[in-house]
Amino acid sequence: MNPEPTLSVVVCAYTVDRWEDLSAAIASVRAQRRPVHELLLVVDHCPELAARARLRLPGVRVLGNRERRGLSGARNTGVAAARGELVAFLDDDAAAEPDWSGRLLDGYRDPAVLGVGGLVLPRWESGRPGWFPAEFDWVVGCCYRGMPEQRSPVRNFIGANMSFRRAELLAAGGFRTDLGRVGSRPLGCEETELCLRIAARRPDGVLLYEPAAVVRHHVPPARTRWAYFRSRCYAEGLSKAAVARHAGSGPALASERGYLRSTLPRALLRGLRPGSGTAAGTVPALVTGAGTTLVGYAAGRLRGAAGGGP
């Protein structure tokens, strides 16, 4: 029987303002029933946070982002420094359930599996807004209604809870540093683009979604407001346009087409059905979210055609 592969966990952080969340994320990794090989914290150009972490988080390898500022560069720094055969990424404002590492590791028993991602559940600090549709939980970095409910191959993972074989990450060239989040700027999709690249390079491989590998993602009150909802939807459209420029609109938008053709129509029908119990404001949120994302995508395509960035 082959020995179990070693798992490095990378947490990336950029501000001292989320210290309590970061401490909870680190504690959740330390509390895993199947201990991880190592825990790395990559600090994205914030000396104050790096100094505090080195002082108050013993046993954690604290590194500075050695690449371009942003989440992608920080993740690449973690991958380069990791010693494990597998690398898992956990957001600095997410906490893993105690069997998270074991569930991820179990997915790699199949040598065809190149990466394993898990379920991201929202932890609403001020309660879920009644109008906020579950189909749009991706707005707050979580899994959403319409995703598979059983272990399944998928196109890409949610960034707060994903892992890969380190060799595949390195062979694919890592995360693009011209995509994704920098500080609090709500752009993203660097995970999608990387997963597409890995899949294109290894068409025989599998990216496996394992909903039993659970993390809970903190959602502060600021992310429950209409203004954030709209801005995040617009930014998602911009990001999808950037991914489409790199990967082509066919693979880059395959999941989104299914979402628009199936998931959203079902949600709208449910919301409009008399006696469905759907909260007031949910249907307008569905329409606004879809429309704003499409507008962002169109704007991103125009910027790309003009030679601009995302």
The CATH number of 7-224 is 3.90.550.10
Q: What does pTM read for this prediction?
A: 0.91
The tokens for 74 are 């920080």
| Average pLDDT across the chain, whole number | 90
The SS3 of residue 105 is helix
Domains of the chain, by residue range, sit at: 7-224
pLDDT in the model for residue 269: 86
Report the alpha-carbon distance of residue 234 to residue 158 in Å, rounded. 18
The residues, ordered by sequence, that sit 6+ positions from 248 with a Cβ below 8 Å of its Cβ are none
Tens digits of per-residue pLDDT, 189-221?
A: 789 899 999 999 999 999 999 999 999 999 999
The letter for the amino acid at 61 is R
- Region 118-142: what's the mean pLDDT? 96
CA 290 to CA 292: how far, in whole Å? Answer: 6
Instruction: Report pLDDT digits (tens) over 16-67.
Output: 999 999 999 999 999 999 999 999 999 999 999 999 999 999 999 999 999 9
Residue in the block written with tokens 């994320």: 25
